[in-house]
Structure 1
């Protein structure tokens, strides 16, 4: 009876953590996107940078909480939450990123295509997809010994800084503010342009919600894994990866219904790039990551879906419902395989 009550309590806290991650990312993206709007950045670039960064924040906070929990003690105390740190888990951090990238490409783009065929911007084929494939290949090389050293983390950080700066410079060179403004309801923008502090405050609240959400998700997810005897890597590859991908999934569904294809593809591909370079870079830069239970199957599936989506996008420069069904099926089959293997 006591065990059943504990399980229910952990599940409730887990749901609370996922809700905080979702709303925190939503608030962060909302504020940051409007700031970007005032700067006149195009919708595709906003999806690739601002929205991708915001929706990757859950992964970053979960990875830092898992690998270097002491870093989040002070921000959590700002929220009036005190918790005792314990040894980190690199497997949770690595599993979260590998699983999130699989879900970002296979599930999120797949769901978007099922809702409505997604038109592909030529810039994605020319620039972003080659960058994502290169980042994935570099990540696999770093994982050859199943360890990402601190210096490798800093190499990844340098890479994401170069990517963001070059993206913004290219956006400024081909600025199209009118196109971006049509992505949002004009009445929603009235007043926000003149109130930059509101956007900054919204970003701050979103970040604080993400900190607390990451703490709840990791701690109570680990507790449930111990109760049911499920390895941590399984939890991170499925539950955590899907949970921290909820902001991307929610953004994709809304954008699909509003026919905002650039935001959809930019968000999904940009989030994968940020996960591999920014999230992995910062996490490993603070403390090295060692994958004890990450399998080459997981890394292979991540690389495989990344390579597979390229010809899908190239065909008629769109993702149709047939391609979407294939990608969603891959995500579901992979999830079932991970759970069934129970390594």
Structure 2
């Protein structure tokens, strides 16, 4: 058991370090592209912080654990939307810009709703995967168009080093993949010894580990008073994970969907998205009392995983 604990911890360390290496290079790449921090956050940072979810879910699926793979996607999104967002607002209330209030929040709810609709027949097929990925394209196009409207001047004195930046970026991606493999390999051993089933492993064990990059970036943005980056990263990561990561996972191998995912977990995720949208659109701020509500919803979700509570009618 001790070796599994050490390898699991090392896997999380690789995830964190690799993602950090990737993210440190993204601002430099963004400077070449001459785009705003919010656009970079939505278009690049959120995609990169979803790499752990993608890697862990694919490895879990290939190992014959589809419930853990799906549980990781839904669980990670829920952890990010409720716990991470709530923790950030508890630390410091967040002023929310119009783009976050109007575009990102709506797209997050729509992405979760689409995933729920496609899951209701008990299977996510390869066709469903294509539908999910196709649904991301309009969001991507909107973001690219905004980037084109916000072209910025290149800072004076900046010397581009594309070769070094790309090398570190690639190394970081490799660390994320290897870290994800160790988490799946040794986390499963530990979870089995604790009597956990595949779905519970995915929505708790894996979801927390793969949400660490989002937590680090969101809290860092709060400390730097970069409000749009905080919620922009949370929303965009949820959208990418719910559409692209889930879609790619279906293309690798069609996923059977546990009834609890469609009857409990995804409805709770949509509820969390609606609540957060109501909070940020009411007065343009996400305040501490609202953060407590989101964390309470997270606690409800977590307790439901251990009690087997379902929202489905008997």
TM norm structure 2: 0.93
CA offset digits 1:292-322 (Å, max 9, x no partner): 3643111221111011111100121010111
Q: Does 1:53 align with 2:47?
A: yes
Cα 1:282/1:33, change in 2 over 3 Å: farther
Q: Please, which of 18, 32, 57 is the counterpart of residue 12 of structure 2?
A: 18
For 1:3, the equivalent position in structure 2 comes to none
For 1:270, the equivalent position in structure 2 comes to 236
Aligned runs of 1:158-177 on 2, under 5 Å?
158-176=134-152
Distance (Å, rounded) in 2 between the aligned partners of 1:169 and 1:196 = 24
For 2:94, the equivalent position in structure 1 comes to 118
Cα 1:33/1:282, change in 2 over 3 Å: farther
Distance (Å, rounded) in 2 between the aligned partners of 1:334 and 1:168 = 35
For 1:195, the equivalent position in structure 2 comes to 161
SS at match of 2:120: helix
Q: Does 1:43 align with 2:9?
A: no
CA contact (8 A) 1:91 1:294 kept: no
CA contact (8 A) 1:63 1:93 kept: yes
Structure 2 unaligned segments of length 5 or more: list them. Answer: none
Q: Does 1:305 align with 2:281?
A: no
Distance (Å, rounded) in 2 between the aligned partners of 1:138 and 1:341 = 24
Aligned runs of 1:171-320 on 2, under 5 Å?
171-176=147-152, 193-292=159-258, 294-295=260-261, 296-320=263-287
- Aligned Cα root-mean-square deviation (Å): 1.9
Number of equivalences:
309
CA offset digits 1:164-223 (Å, max 9, x no partner): 233112221133569xx8xxxx9xxx76x5101121111101110011111100111111
Comparing 156-165 and 245-254, the one that deviates more? 156-165
Distance (Å, rounded) in 1 between the aligned partners of 2:153 and 2:53 = 30
TM norm structure 1: 0.85
CA contact (8 A) 1:43 1:263 kept: yes
Comparing 169-178 and 35-44, the one that deviates more? 169-178
Distance (Å, rounded) in 1 between the aligned partners of 2:208 and 2:115 = 21
CA contact (8 A) 1:234 1:342 kept: no
Comparing 258-267 and 226-235, the one that deviates more? 226-235
Q: CA deviation at 1:41?
A: 1.3
CA contact (8 A) 2:47 2:240 kept: yes
CA contact (8 A) 1:113 1:319 kept: yes
Q: CA deviation at 1:88?
A: 2.0
CA contact (8 A) 1:148 1:290 kept: yes
SS at match of 2:4: helix
Q: Please, which of 324, 328, 339 is the counterpart of residue 291 of structure 2?
A: 324
SS at match of 1:145: coil
CA contact (8 A) 2:14 2:175 kept: yes
Distance (Å, rounded) in 1 between the aligned partners of 2:31 and 2:237 = 19
Cα 1:131/1:15, change in 2 over 3 Å: same
